[in-house]
Amino acid sequence: MNRIAIIGCGGAGKTVLANRLAALLDLPVINLDAIYYDGNWKEKTAVEFAAIQRGVVAADRWIIDGNHASTLYIRVHRADSVIFLDLPAWTCLWGIVQRRWRYRGGQHPDGVYDRITMSFIRYIIGYRKKMRPRIAAVIREHGQHAQYVTLTSRRQARRFLGSIGTN
């Protein structure tokens, strides 16, 4: 596991998993929100964002955490491992509440922006129905070469990390 793409709904624990895997595997972590948004939460253009990702994935070793489905193919094509946090909506909603409590809002040093809106809540509620098929299609088309891991609970994520730590 040298090039790992971690994807999943907001609040699923992508950044936590990325940071823990990075500690175990001595890999650099790139958070997509940190490169997609500037300090004022202004988005990069689609072309600019894709170009930055192409540069990042050219490296030999990395963990990239984040969704951004429109450019998922870039990460999946180069990844040797893809981890999909496919957690229930209620778990993800609880995750964003915990994040808000922990960081008290705003943009965190790791690039995650703690902004809870009704559209974000609706996105989380509909994520599995809308995004899971899109993710599956991208992985089928661009990531058949990669090890694919689906984690459907926080307990599975902890067990997965434990299995990495013992190897």
| 92 to 51, 111, 114, 164: CA distances (angstroms) | 30, 18, 13, 24
How remote is the C-alpha of 45 from its chain's centroid?
A: 20
pLDDT classification of 34: cutoffs 50, 70, 90: confident
Mean pLDDT of 106-128: 76
Q: Map out the domains of the chain as residue ranges.
A: 3-165
Which pLDDT belongs to residue 33?
86
Q: Which helix (H) or strand (E) holds 73?
A: helix 72-78
pLDDT averaged over the chain? Answer: 89
* Residue 65 β-bridge partners: 6, 31
Which pLDDT belongs to residue 118?
85
Residues 71-116 pLDDT 10s: 999 999 999 999 999 999 999 999 888 876 776 666 666 556 666 7
Residues 60-70 pLDDT 10s: 999 999 988 89
- pTM beyond 0.85: yes
CATH 3.40.50.300 fits 3-165, yes or no: yes
Mean pLDDT of 120-136: 92
Q: Is the pLDDT of residue 50 over 90?
A: yes
Which pLDDT belongs to residue 42?
83
Which pLDDT belongs to residue 112?
60
Which pLDDT belongs to residue 156?
96
Task: Looking at mean pLDDT, say which of 25-39, 96-110, 138-152 comes out highest.
Answer: 138-152
Q: Which helix (H) or strand (E) holds 151?
A: strand 147-151
